[in-house]
Amino acid sequence: MNPVSTPTPTSATVGPTSAGHSTASTGEGNSKTCDEALAQAFTFLGKRWNGVILGTLTNGASGFAELRRNVTGISDSVLSERLSELQTAGLIVRAVEPGPPISVSYQLSDAGTALVPAMHALSVWAAKHFPGPGDRTP
Amino acid sequence: MNPVSTPTPTSATVGPTSAGHSTASTGEGNSKTCDEALAQAFTFLGKRWNGVILGTLTNGASGFAELRRNVTGISDSVLSERLSELQTAGLIVRAVEPGPPISVSYQLSDAGTALVPAMHALSVWAAKHFPGPGDRTP
DNA sequence: ACTGGTTGCTTCGTTTTTAGAAGCGACCGG
DNA sequence: CCGGTCGCTTCTAAAAACGAAGCAACCAGT
């Protein structure tokens, strides 16, 4: 399980939550490993920026530069890489408008959109347990 | 926003989902940034291994070595670091049993436990959109 | 007594990932 | 023409993760 490599959707050894590690759950008796599906979810969500990018796209389609501005702190190169990965994984869709000026927009795919309720649950949890950016009283 | 540093719960500049970037949401008109609470959640969940560790601990308390085995693919040093961070953040609790042999166990805190439903939602989503470890048809 | 194993980490060097700046062609407005 | 934006790409530097070795404490077997 090496998430360092681009989470190639083809490999079972992807992400911090690679299926590889999940498959090591032995299956019998001692079943204290992470749920495989959850591990799979964290193939993407456990990778820096993906969660925030997807969260940002819940507001609607955005272009590269717009995302760059709205996902504060992300670099061009990482954003480009993440968008490519998320697209390959089928979580977002990239649409090109060809006529001058050419423009590109990214939006959540059906799969990405299906993730929104879970993301909302995370948001609700965080709002409760991280009351303020500087308030650490979980 | 530098998640590279240990997500010190005191700082507003933590994680890929630092409050710093969320606060840059400008607040008026163009509100397409990620929800601040969600960004905060990804301070931890967007960091390699945290989601899987927390997911693993939903099965109940575990020792270090047990976690090491059950979170397949994680290294000792990263596990140690992550446990420390998650404890500092109040998501897990470390309990020491002193009498020979000394043993240490980690379990979800109240805040960590409160995260379980959201994690479950993620798991359900992933099971639907990633049907199999090697099956990439979201 | 010694050996080998487990536990719960720590340390250190290596590899991978992320960050950050600069760059490019296309397009637009002044 | 210039300067700006867009949508990236490229390259170097910094940070994170990896992987192996190490340590003290403890236990069981010979």
Q: Are A1 and A13 in contact (CB under 8 A)?
A: yes
Tens place of pLDDT per residue across chain B (138 aa): 333 333 333 333 334 433 333 333 333 344 677 788 999 999 999 999 999 999 999 999 999 999 999 998 999 999 999 999 999 999 999 999 887 788 899 999 999 999 999 999 999 999 998 765 444 433
Phi/psi of residue A39, each to 5°?
-60, -40
What interface predicted TM-score (ipTM) does this complex get?
0.81
CATH label, B49-138, candidates 3.40.30.10, 1.10.3720.10, 1.10.10.10, 3.40.50.11720: 1.10.10.10
Binary contact (B41, A115; C-beta < 8 A): no
Q: By C-alpha distance, which of B38, B22, B103, B86 is closest to A125?
A: B38
Name the residues contacting strand D (CB < 7 Å).
Answer: A 1-4, 16, 63-66, 76-77, 80, 83-84, 94, 101-105; B 2-5, 47-49, 73-78, 81, 100-102
CATH topology of domain A48-138: Arc Repressor Mutant, subunit A (1.10.10)
The full set of domain ranges for chain B reads: 1-47, 49-138
DSSP assignment of A54-78, as one string?
A: HHHHTT--B-HHHHHHHSTT--HHH
What would the pLDDT profile of A55-111 be if each residue is shown by its tens digit? 999 999 999 999 999 998 899 999 999 999 999 999 999 999 887 788 899 999 999
Distance CA B30, CA B14 (A): 24
Tokens, residue B46: 């967007």
Distance CA B30, CA B69 (A): 46
Binary contact (A111, B138; C-beta < 8 A): yes
Distance CA A36, CA B85 (A): 24
